[in-house]
Each structure stands twice: as structure tokens, then as C-alpha cells.
Structure 1
Amino acid sequence: MITDSELILNADGSIYHLNLLPEDLAPTIVLVGDPDRVGEVSRYFDRIDVKKGKREFITHTGVLRNKRISVISSGIGTDNIDIVFNEIDALVNIDFETRTLKEQLISLDIIRIGTSGSIQGDIRMGTILASEYAIGLDALMQYYVKNYSEEEKVIQHAVMNHFGTLGCTPYVGSASKRLINRIARDLPKGITMTTPGFYGQGRSMRTRNAYPDLIRKANAFQLQGRSITNLEMETAGVYALANMFGHHALSINAILASRLHDAFLDNPKEVIDKAIRFVLERI
């Protein structure tokens, strides 16, 4: 039995942070960072049945072409991904009445639509890119026991050798092959690097960065024809936790910046909307 301090419910029986009841969640989830982006996705639904929120976690659940979909905002960073993934898994795989695991576990489809910066010269701003793998430089997976595939182990070992001392042990997550084939089959793909901060990923205004050559080192990484293509702050946590729980996950990145050329896109909203429409057409 799961204790009250582990499975925390609100007075109405909803899960603590997401403020959702089990029936509020669809089996297909679009995950966005910005709470304002939830409405930018759900405006394309044929109808919206649920609108709930608490803190930065906003959820709209509705129907698009007879398919039930939830859009959830996670906020920024893998610390929030930790909350979202544990709570959406609880919503479908734990009986809230008995506080026990259900006999038949459910696997969700989770598609992240996020923004990112390119670190390769051949990936132009405005590109929609799918993360085939993600490398986590944050500390999230230091606190979980997860089985890693042989491919993930090879990438992790190569990253550790390439970067040297990073102050943490990088972890690796992989996208769902089923979702790649269904949604991202014809998109450019790459390895995404997830960092624990926005300004800490090589940006410097009034600070001195402990890893000033992070972008250069990431740009130079090569493994079996694959390279690190972009930087952001959530995908590695999404993939690692999805794999740990047995869910299917895919991260779609709207490339808004070029870190090599120190440039940012003039029309970010148009590119984000393009990514949203692309995912919803194939979901």
C-alpha cells in the first residue's frame, strides 16, 4: 500500500500538483513547457472537455478527430518533469481508493513540443527536429534505478570520455521507436543535450561559466555518425522517466536559436505553431 506522504491527494481526490482526477487524463498526452502554450495547442481541438490547473501545471483534455488528447504544461526543467511523470503515471496505474498498483498497467503516449537551440551549423533556425536520444547533464536520474539499453550505455560512455569532468554523471534516454515511425519518420533527427539551466548552458552576461567550452565540446561530439544537435532543458528527463515507467515518449524541438552564430529567430511563434500543427496532424 502506498502511503499518504507518497501518493498525496487533494481534498477532491485529485493528484497533488497536477490537480487532476484519473478520468481527466487522456491516453495520449502533448507536453509543453509554457502554461500559455496549452491553449495554443487545444485551440485546434474539436472540443475541450476538461480545463484544470495548479501552479505552472495547466491541463486541457479534449477530442481531435475522435481521439482523446490531453495537453499538459510542465514548466521549465527536469525537476518539473519529475513531478509530471510521476503524477501522470499514478493517475493511470495506481488505484486511488486502495492506494495499490493496478493489475494491468497502462502505457501512455507522450509527445513533447518544446523550443531549443541548435549547436550544429547545418541545422538552421526554424527547423523542426526530433530527438532520437537525449543526454542529461542534470541530476534527476541520479535518484532513480533504471535499466539502460546497450545503445544508451554506449552513448553514455562516449559522452563521459568526450566531456571529461562535468560535476555529474550524464544519463541517456531514447525516444519511442513507435512514435518516431508514426510522427517523426521524415524529420531531421539528432541527439539532444539537456542541461539543468538556461544561462548555465554556456550563456554569460555577468557570470563566469564553469564550462565555457560546453558548446564547442558538444558541437565536436561524434558517435557512429550521430552528433549532438541541440540544447534544451527537459528531453532527457522525459525519455529516461518514460522508459523507466514503460511509457512511449517523443520530443519534437522547434529550433529557435543558433548557439554557434549567437542568433535568435525573429518569428518564434510561427515556428512553434508549425511544430504544434505538425504533431497534431500525425498524432
Structure 2
Amino acid sequence: MAEQLHLSELAARPYTVNCDLQLAEIFKSDEVLIGNTITNVGFYGPQSRQLRLKPAHLHLNSSIESFNYDEEKLTNLEMETAGIYAMSSLLGHRAVSLNAILANRATGEFSKNPKSIVEKLITFTLQQIVDN
């Protein structure tokens, strides 16, 4: 994965952590895109955003967009999920991540009503828990 994403030799090496597959089954729906989240260590530079300094990996988003391993693609970039999955596993808990996608970095599209999207995800999530 590090080679395909063109990561610097100095960068931390990628690792994978799975969600709880039994929990994931609860949330299968036509409304849900099942995908793979890549977690990075920070919000600005590590996610290829730029304020005053250039990020170390300027082309991270295009590398993520073109990533493909055994027909698996990366569908989301954020900074929490892998840590939650790792801690969950270490502590003997189960975890799954549902993400309200508010921005599409590949197309430059941003949600016009992010609050509505987040509320819809919360309602969906709670309803699936109640029903299952």
C-alpha cells in the first residue's frame, strides 16, 4: 500500500484494521456505500491540505483515488477510524464506523446542507440499532 500511495520513506507505514463484520451487517442498506476508510494522523498537512506550509505528500488525494488492491478501493479519508478500531480490538470491544460524507475532494464538491446529512446518518444509525 505504501508503494502504491507513493508515500515517503520517512512516513509512517500503513496498516489495516477491520471493523466488526457482525456489526457491519446491521448497517447494510441501499443508503450506505460500503467502502474502505484511510485514516491519517492529522487534519491539514497529513490530509494534503495547505495553509502556510506545503504538505509532505502533495498528491495524496489522487494517490488515494487511484488506489486499487484486489479490487478494493479507498473511499474515505479522515483521522479517527483506525484508532477506534485498534483500541476496540485491544480492549475486546466491537466497532464499526459510519461516516457522513460532507466533501468530495476528488470533485471539489461540498455539501450545501451538512447538518441535514449528519442528522440523516444519526437517525439511520439509531434506527438500525433499534431494529436489530
Instruction: Give the alignment's TM-score, normalised by structure 2.
Output: 0.87
- Is structure 2 residue 103 aligned with structure 1 residue 257? yes
Aligned position for 2:121: 275
State the superposition RMSD in angstroms. Answer: 1.3
Aligned position for 2:18: 174
Q: Which amino acid aligns with 1:179?
A: L
Offset of residue 181 of structure 1 = 0.9
Q: Which amino acid aligns with 1:233?
A: M
Distance across 2 between alignment mates of 1:205 and 1:253: 25
Determine if contact 2:7/2:57 at 8 Å carries over to the other structure.
no
- Length, aligned pairs only: 124
Q: 1:123-138 alignment to 2 at 5 Å?
A: none
Deviates further, 171-180 or 197-206: 197-206
Offset of residue 164 of structure 1 = 4.1
Distance across 1 between alignment mates of 2:72 and 2:86: 19
Determine if contact 1:160/1:170 at 8 Å carries over to the other structure.
yes
Distance across 2 between alignment mates of 1:205 and 1:165: 21
Distance across 2 between alignment mates of 1:160 and 1:197: 18
Distance across 2 between alignment mates of 1:239 and 1:277: 22
Q: Which amino acid aligns with 1:162?
A: Q
Deviation digits for residues 216-259 of structure 1 (CA, Å, limit 9, x no counterpart): 11111111221000111100111112122221100000000010
Distance across 2 between alignment mates of 1:256 and 1:165: 26
> For structure 2, which runs of at least 5 residues remain unmatched after alignment?
none
Identity %: 37
Q: Say which structure is richer in strand.
A: 1
Aligned position for 2:87: 241
| SS of 2:16 mapped into structure 1 | strand
- Runs of 4 or more off by more than 3 Å in structure 1? none
Q: Which of 25, 43, 52 is the equivalent residue of 1:206?
A: 52
Deviation digits for residues 99-143 of structure 1 (CA, Å, limit 9, x no counterpart): xxxxxxxxxxxxxxxxxxxxxxxxxxxxxxxxxxxxxxxxxxxxx
Higher relative contact order (CA 8 A, sep 6+): 2
Distance across 2 between alignment mates of 1:208 and 1:179: 39
* Structure whose alpha-carbon radius of gyration is higher: 1
Instruction: Give the alignment's TM-score, normalised by structure 1.
Output: 0.42
